[in-house]
Structure 1
């Protein structure tokens, strides 16, 4: 990406900040941070010491005109902007639709209009066999991105599908830590729930791998173990609490499910092993040259990839939290 112009939508979030750090190492010409949060933009300006290669643009992906302007002469777009909180999307499905679906369509149109080389779309495990409004809107976003490879123009579009990023906005780990520090009980929606977790650095590595290696039309998935939320809470209590902290079940929230899925039953039929750390889901329709690129790759041997199948042990959870800096 040397001497390339890059747009990062939603770039002031935790993903965006880590991504920008890694992109700057590749000596781009310019990185444009496109987001609607003025306060976070000012904060990020200071964090990066007013770096001369960073341009901050106030804008909303719902506004196609603003997006068209931001993407002029851009080479890459990392599309991170979304409404992500499950309960909020359940309460305001119209807003989730406008941002996660129409906003994504605006990104696609801006990319094609401006002759962008590649668009990398950040999706979620909740888009696989979705049960919530958030998951459904992200699943439609995936469909739009993959199908955009059939449109005229040189732009390539690829998806990455991730689990929960440790410490990101709304993540349970900072919430649990705060409750423990204040000596409060930990509120857990359901002790049976399992989730996929990965470190922020791993999430950005997934983004960059898809950027470097994708042909357009794939969904990249990182191989990872699931984690029982109760085990996660108990490890945090054992490591951080000065006294006993009770765990109280509050009941599942609207749209929540017991486990998450990175690859659904239907998707497993067209999924392959990319290498020892990643899978690729291929589309069920032909895209010029795509399936030939992966000819000879080994198909996956499972019929789905759910978070309750291979669970981390408590020592593994502790190591994950230590590596992420959450037990210091």
Structure 2
């Protein structure tokens, strides 16, 4: 039966509807004669009516074509189609009056009125019955999805009306927070309390839940969806009608707020100025070119119009993306800069040596490093090898190749570090400081700054991701605070400092006051238009959860080891002179790390770090090792 229904063409369906309406014409006349109880009886009057019946059938077919009622699908038979049916019935009533008068039958006007009303009712009812028959045929021949609708309000009610005409979806019940609706029937479907969702799903064999609560905030919808998905259900969210027609601007809430808005101070927006001249026409290598800092370095260096820009990157995908981006910019702006993508590791001395010589590199901006504290804490040997030996390889080969300037991108976590990542960056600084003392040709400098807003793995994108999932936002401790800067500021600092370095300096930025992470979390929630849910506001949208300090995490960061800092020609940049290790001590530290790596001994590596990195907290690292 289902195959026959599916095989019907539009012409076949029109003929069926014409046939149905043709049957309803004599049937309506029969009802009219019976209702009015005219003289001569029903049978005699009906026999007389047979004389004009062919003309009535012809008129009915003509009116059906003219109004288009025979082309309306039963699944789309709604208010407009009912209106067409009323017009159709009125036209048939007029035809009945006209044809019967011409035939001299002398039927009373009441007969024609009853005929029209009965035809209209039968036409509407027959189509409703036909729809149920067709849907029953479809449902009997195919599996259907049983859905639970979360929300019995206007949106949910409209949804049920729409789904009842669907061949494969069957709404079976509502769930709603409104206690006034619980226990009632809405559109002949029972309404349950949310606490009974698991029971309803089990007993009614629910396959999918449709969230029809557009009035709830997106975080609350996300929380409901996560709870339902935990039961193994497929969950879909419906927008409100105002969202669909564009009266409510969802785009603003779906677009993450820019990281700059959380800076807590004015962004350093001074141009590079005469620093550009240091990079113009030069051959420049950026290691870690595909990372957050490295890619922005490439963009700003490209604006300085170097002769050659070498993109040195370990990740194939990251290298591909930054290479394509820079080539598009260079082509659009008509730049003559040669862009050279190189896939490789900073720890590969032979590749680095060949790379520097082949492209006659004059400036190295070393941004390649593993920077995520928890990951490096869990993989200390890998982090130390990449961050320390990678820096050593790049620095030594730069000196041998006669590179003019070498700039190390460091971190505030290198100051009295309590984690392996910070310790690895401090050891990298010590390597560069040692090279600065021994090199007569290459100027070695370092730039140290705080957290970069918006970079991969940083706290603001993490908060925004947690926000999109409905929360909670996780903060390790209420007292944790950090210095923040934008990636544009960080890179501008690197390039400006790199232009004035004399050798061995650690450059830092005036970053204002540190920002409490708890305050930052509240700003992220409120900037998205939501309210923080806490004891003071239990009905808020998003909660903030305190998870406890992670292994190796500090309550606050510092920018310098000593207070011996000097101003520079750039108002926001300061240069710090810090004591390093001797050449012998550096050699001993690197030898110890190499032995730990060969032995694959993490504790041995930590002991090396404890010995040579000032302020490294052995208690914190011991806790992380356990």
Please give the alpha-carbon distance, in whole angstroms, between the structure 2 residues aligned to 1:130 and 1:152: 27
- Between stretches 183-192 and 240-249, larger displacement belongs to 240-249
Cross-structure match for 1:284: 579
**Contact 2:311 2:323 (8 Å CA) reproduced:** no
**Contact 2:347 2:394 (8 Å CA) reproduced:** no
Please give the alpha-carbon distance, in whole angstroms, between the structure 2 residues aligned to 1:131 and 1:4: 39
For the pair shown, the structure with the greater C-alpha radius of gyration is 2
Cross-structure match for 1:314: none
Is structure 2 residue 396 aligned with structure 1 residue 109? Answer: yes
**How far off is 1:152 after superposition?**
4.0
Cross-structure match for 1:180: 467
Q: State how many pairs are aligned.
A: 283
Is structure 2 residue 341 aligned with structure 1 residue 56? Answer: yes
Cross-structure match for 2:484: 197
Please give the alpha-carbon distance, in whole angstroms, between the structure 1 residues aligned to 2:377 and 2:436: 30
Cross-structure match for 1:236: 524
Please give the alpha-carbon distance, in whole angstroms, between the structure 2 residues aligned to 1:127 and 1:284: 14
**How far off is 1:278 after superposition?**
2.0
Please give the alpha-carbon distance, in whole angstroms, between the structure 2 residues aligned to 1:59 and 1:219: 28
Cross-structure match for 1:43: 321
Cross-structure match for 1:311: none
- Higher RCO (CA < 8 A, seq sep 6+): 1
**How far off is 1:20 after superposition?**
1.3
Cα displacement string for residues 270-300 of structure 1 (whole angstroms, at most 9, x for unaligned residues): 3223354122111438xxxxxxxxxxxxxxx
Is structure 2 residue 452 aligned with structure 1 residue 165? Answer: yes
Write out the 4+ residue segments of structure 1 that deviate beyond 6 Å after TM superposition: none
Give the unaligned 5+ runs of structure 1.
286-328
Closer, same or farther: CA 284–242 of 1 in aligned 2, 3 Å: closer
Is structure 2 residue 352 aligned with structure 1 residue 67? Answer: yes
Cα displacement string for residues 124-152 of structure 1 (whole angstroms, at most 9, x for unaligned residues): 00001111101111001111111211224
**Contact 1:7 1:78 (8 Å CA) reproduced:** yes
Please give the alpha-carbon distance, in whole angstroms, between the structure 2 residues aligned to 1:263 and 1:114: 31
Is structure 2 residue 363 aligned with structure 1 residue 93? Answer: no
Cα displacement string for residues 159-179 of structure 1 (whole angstroms, at most 9, x for unaligned residues): 000101111111010110111
Please give the alpha-carbon distance, in whole angstroms, between the structure 1 residues aligned to 2:384 and 2:295: 25
Give the unaligned 5+ runs of structure 2.
1-278, 331-336, 532-540, 581-626
Q: TM-score, normalised by structure 2?
A: 0.44
**How far off is 1:241 after superposition?**
4.4
**How far off is 1:11 after superposition?**
0.8
Cross-structure match for 1:246: 543
Is structure 2 residue 314 aligned with structure 1 residue 29? Answer: no
**Contact 2:482 2:557 (8 Å CA) reproduced:** yes
Cα displacement string for residues 39-65 of structure 1 (whole angstroms, at most 9, x for unaligned residues): 111112222235462110001111111
Cα displacement string for residues 97-127 of structure 1 (whole angstroms, at most 9, x for unaligned residues): 1111111100111101111000000000000
SS of the aligned residue for 1:3 comes to coil
SS of the aligned residue for 1:49 comes to helix
SS of the aligned residue for 1:105 comes to helix
Q: Identify which of 284, 298, 305 aligns with 1:6.
A: 284
**How far off is 1:35 after superposition?**
0.7
Cα displacement string for residues 305-324 of structure 1 (whole angstroms, at most 9, x for unaligned residues): xxxxxxxxxxxxxxxxxxxx
SS of the aligned residue for 1:261 comes to coil
**Contact 2:407 2:444 (8 Å CA) reproduced:** yes
Is structure 2 residue 443 aligned with structure 1 residue 156? Answer: yes
| Higher helix proportion (structure 1 or 2) | 2
Cα displacement string for residues 194-252 of structure 1 (whole angstroms, at most 9, x for unaligned residues): 00100111101110111111111100000112100000000111111445200001111
Q: Identify which of 409, 415, 429 aligns with 1:122.
A: 409
Pairwise CA RMSD of aligned residues?
1.6
Closer, same or farther: CA 241–183 of 1 in aligned 2, 3 Å: farther
Cα displacement string for residues 56-107 of structure 1 (whole angstroms, at most 9, x for unaligned residues): 0001111111111222210000000001111111111111111111111001
Please give the alpha-carbon distance, in whole angstroms, between the structure 2 residues aligned to 1:86 and 1:284: 25
| Higher strand proportion (structure 1 or 2) | 1
Please give the alpha-carbon distance, in whole angstroms, between the structure 2 residues aligned to 1:279 and 1:156: 17
Cross-structure match for 1:300: none
SS of the aligned residue for 1:262 comes to coil
Please give the alpha-carbon distance, in whole angstroms, between the structure 2 residues aligned to 1:147 and 1:260: 25
